[in-house]
Structure 1
Amino acid sequence: MSSPAISPSPPLRLLAIETSTDRMSVAVGDGSPGGLSLSYSGPGAAQSSANLLPTVGQLLGEAGWSLAELAAVVFARGPGSFTGLRTACAVTQGLAYGAQAQGVEGGLPVLPVDTLLALAEEARWLSEQAGGAVPEVIVAMLDARMGEVYVAVYAVRHQRVVSEPLQAPRLCAPAELAAFLQPIPGASEPAVLLAGNVFDTYGDALMGLPGQRQAAWPTATALLRLAPALLREGLAVAAHEAMPLYVRDKVAQTTDERERLRLAQTASAAG
């Protein structure tokens, strides 16, 4: 059940958490262009569970905000690292419920955001900051390890990434991306931006994909920029509904599965 729509009129006080990858990113701010934004980025993965809460406390202190003054806690729900996603959900729920002790009846609202949407927004922002043309479509790709990529496709309208994806997050072998993206819905080739952290690892397999390339990671500051519109759409939920988005249902592969994957990748490279 969604919470009531939250008006994004200033002053909007938000906390954003991103631990979907081996980087940890935390930010506080109002989500407006040129508005207040304090952020931290550092090692994630297993370190997130130890460092996340102290970092949240430090940033709130620097902003001069109490937990109870927040409009919502925003977090990247996945896909991504299983440990990182569980950490983000647990900390988000703990903070939301913890606000009850400071007088917030029922706790704070939470805003789950797809990690690949945050990645697409970060890529759009980086391209804009570099003076690049505004893309019509962003293909967001995140390294899923084990020879696979998380991928989703988003439209850009009026310099904003549309939250509803053209193609929903899925798991894909790099060699299969060309077939998955042909044709890329909603745009011509020059207006497509391929974005993510996959180019160094899977560059050879991605050479045939159409579009410009932008190295990017999901960040907490991207979550802040997305949050006002998402809150206005009524996408905040109660703390108990802060759940991860798992695209990969199985993290372990059998020896036979790994060998089939290796042979498929070898055949694709040879072709």
Structure 2
Amino acid sequence: MPPLSSSSPFSSDAHVAALRAAGCVFAEDEAELIRTAARTPDEAVAMVERRASGLPLEHVVGWAEFHGLRITVEPGVFVPRRRTEFLVDEALAAAPHACVVVDLCCGSGAVGAALAASLGQVELHAADIDPVAVRCAGRNVAGYGGHAYRGDLFEALPGRLRGRIDILAANVPYVPTDEVPLLPAEAREHEPLTALDGGGDGLDVLRRVAAEAPQWLSPGGCLLVETSERQAPVAVEAFTRAGLAARVAEDEERYAHVLVGIRAETGVR
């Protein structure tokens, strides 16, 4: 693609043409988002060129729309998927009066922020193993009084949360290792592998979360994990082995599958 000239009109068709030539299916919409985000014509040109080079649009403009919120997304951070809004909806339905919320494998913290925005006053915590994600999530949850921690799953969380979590949202990686190369280039090249690769069958991290979750959930608390239709039966087994009452929720329109596990109201594992 030839470089755009900074003398191009701020909202010119040149931006659309450059994006279309780069294979952007929604070139007109993307050009408009870039035009809105850019502060100057030169910045718009630079943003179009970054997008045309393959950078995810959300990394270019610096935010992603998620559950009615504008979530800050920094380069190198997993971009929240619109289908994951279904996980938020299922969490709100399962625990509409939740007081303590944890966004595990939080990435940008989009899920935690969306839950807090809908629930109101909650104690919000987010955690991820990637330091770039933790920094980004910290910015997104701060407005809700939330805190972000770096560490491997539950090791990152304050011990005082044990047995108190009403909603544990864990958007774990669930792509099987040998299928990661089949992902779109935007994901493979610009998002952390730890946010994508779920191991041999894609369920390694899910199993770890399910096994330890009952120790952290409050009585009646719920664990919610996104998975695929193909993986759902094995994922349910992992939840059941951990002592959680499990069900699979499906949204056909968004092709989203969420596994919901409830800790028993009485009894401690």
What is the TM-score when the length of structure 1 is the normalising length?
0.31
| Higher share in helix | 2
Please identify the structure whose Cα radius of gyration is greater: 2
| Higher share in strand | 1
Higher relative CO (Cα under 8 Å, sequence separation at least 6) belongs to 1
What is the TM-score when the length of structure 2 is the normalising length?
0.31
